[in-house]
Amino acid sequence: MSRIYDWFRDRFDLDAVAAFAKKKEVPLYRGTFLYYLGGICLFLFGLQVLTGILLLLYYQPGENTAYESMKTIISRVEFGWLIRDIHGWSANLLIFFAFLHMFSVFFGRAYRKPRELTWMTGFILLALAMGFGFTGYLLPWNELAYFATRVGTNIPGSVPVVGGALLKLLRAGDEVTGATLTRFYGIHVSVLPALFAGVLGLHLLLIQVLGMSVPPSQERLPPEERRSIRFFPNFFLRDVMVWLVILNVIAVLAVFFPWELGAKADPLAPAPAGIRPEWYFMFTFQTLKLLPAHILGVEGEVLGILGFGLGGLIWFCIPFIDRWEGSHKVSRAINVFGVVVVVYMIVMTIWGYLA
Amino acid sequence: MGTQPRSQERRNFLNIVLGSGAVVWLGSLVYPVLRYLVPPATAATDVNSVRVATVDELRPGEYRIFRFGRLPGILFRMEDGTLHALSARCTHLDCTVQFDEEKQQIWCACHGGVYDVNGRNIAGPPPRPLERYEVVLKGKDVFVRRGETA
């Protein structure tokens, strides 16, 4: 073992890596548990890659094969149901924990200088994860997926000027067809993973370079009152324990709450009653449902979509908006904005499910 | 420009020439890829006319779902015997609508849009009426053609 280590040490500066790992620390205070959230997302992403690769071994994209191959996976391939359910559940939990991670960073104001790019890469990762969710949703080629994709691709399609071209590009034509499925499949298994891996690498690198952020309340403490623990092995082992718990939770969910395959997509059938998107698109869905046909002469859906776009842009640029150090008014306004966003999302989501 | 030495001028000139060359070169790489991403037109989207039924098959007050290109349409025979046909594509966000016989309304399950039997948007988020097809009778055959909007 030590000979292998020495072989590598002769060629690379391993001591520097070891020294860095030794030096890396995690702040210890009431909110330390929040530092698990990013790691949980990382673990769930790993699980996605692993189960995704396994599903690739049997899945066959195509209008006449996708649904049938999914059926084979969950009913004939040994443990196929388990792999598929773990893929589905860990995808949902990944989005859930990414949201938690994002809001904890937001309210802890960890996006401030020098971590603006860490925030922005994190935002891009969440957007990519939602892209994974949206493209992956179509792959079983069932009724829900079909209509979710028709609505979902129509949304960028109603953006002024570029909408038409965007819609055609996403659908690979004017309608959602087998060609759309092929395109979504390609995006889901090659384009998004490549982008995600790159941005994730940058996100993790930035965290290593800049260290872990502490909220302003901790920053104000004199250095001798601040406490921390070593990342290796202390915090890392706790990370692994949390991952183990999550894995068990997913196993239980997969066994007791399996994902239904539903009916095969039929372009001639009407949208079934009670159709709705994944929970993380529910607040946008409910908003679009509530908006009237026209607002000030503009189509309601166009205004809604532009509104969400603008909201996302503001959220993305938060580090540059919250830059007046020590200004009590600004930080209060940012906090209120964050609370309004969270409350809006929760209320609309619940409303969407009750409606 | 006059105050710059000649070598600097030459350098600027070369930068512009090489820079525009590089832009053109990049463009020639990106252009085929962008064109490749645009799907070719398919025959299915070009359907303009379809035979739906014969007049005798539909009694007054009845309707029929038919295939128009890749998507469904609805043909109604009203109580007074007239025929009209609508696209089943919701004008809100592109779901497929259905006919609610009890309420005699067209309804979209996705976001709750409601149209009357003539395709006019009467409740919920749809911004426009359903697309109206032209109904043409050739002998006893009912043909539906892409036409004006209601």
Q: Is residue A3, in this structure, part of any structural domain at all?
A: no
**CB A67 within 8 Å of CB A264:** yes
pLDDT of B35 = 87
Token digits of residue A76: 């004939």
Segment A69-88 shows an average pLDDT of 95
Residues 23-42 of A with CB under 8 A from B: none
Cα distances (Å, whole numbers) of residue A246 to A120, A172, A241, A250, A255? 26, 38, 9, 6, 14
Nearest chain B Cα to A179, which residue? B39
Could you tell me if B4 and B49 lie in one domain?
no
Q: Over the stretch A135-179, which tens digit does the pLDDT of each residue have?
A: 999 999 999 999 999 999 998 888 888 998 999 999 998 889 999
**CB A84 within 8 Å of CB A259:** yes
Give A113 to chain B, closest Cα distance, Å: 35
Interface test with A, best of B65, B71, B91, B93 (most A CBs within 10 A): B93
Could you tell me if B48 and B112 lie in one domain?
yes
Could you tell me if B34 and B48 lie in one domain?
no
Q: Is residue A206, in this structure, part of any structural domain at all?
A: yes
Q: Interface pTM (ipTM) of the complex?
A: 0.74
pLDDT higher for A198 or B68?
Answer: A198
Q: Over the stretch A169-206, which tens digit does the pLDDT of each residue have?
A: 999 988 899 999 999 999 999 999 999 999 999 999 99
B109/A271 touch (CB, cutoff 8 Å), yes or no:
yes
Could you tell me if B56 and B128 lie in one domain?
yes
Structure letter (DSSP) for residue B56 = G
For the beta carbon of residue A87, count every other beta carbon within 10 angstroms: 21
Number of domains within chain B: 2
Q: Is residue A328, in this structure, part of any structural domain at all?
A: no
Segment A232-246 shows an average pLDDT of 94
Token digits of residue A312: 């996302």
Q: What is the spatial distance between Cα A137 and Cα A156, in angstroms, rounded to a whole number?
A: 17
* Enclosing domain of residue A170: 22-259
pLDDT of A325 = 62
Give B107 to chain A, closest Cα distance, Å: 10
Could you tell me if B61 and B123 lie in one domain?
yes
Number of domains within chain A: 1
Q: Is residue A326, in this structure, part of any structural domain at all?
A: no
A271/B125 touch (CB, cutoff 8 Å), yes or no:
no
Could you tell me if B71 and B11 lie in one domain?
no
Could you tell me if B25 and B69 lie in one domain?
no
Give A261 to chain B, closest Cα distance, Å: 19
* Enclosing domain of residue B22: 1-38
pLDDT at A302 over 90: no
Could you tell me if B78 and B21 lie in one domain?
no
Q: Is residue A330, in this structure, part of any structural domain at all?
A: no
Question: The domain that contains B80 carries what CATH number?
Answer: 2.102.10.10
Could you tell me if B1 and B59 lie in one domain?
no
Could you tell me if B18 and B54 lie in one domain?
no
pLDDT at B150 over 50: no
* Residue A297 sits at the chain B interface (C-beta within 8 Å): no
Question: The domain that contains A220 carries what CATH number?
Answer: 1.20.810.10
B95/A147 touch (CB, cutoff 8 Å), yes or no:
yes
* Residue A151 sits at the chain B interface (C-beta within 8 Å): yes
Count Cα atoms within 13 angstroms, Cβ side, for A300. 21
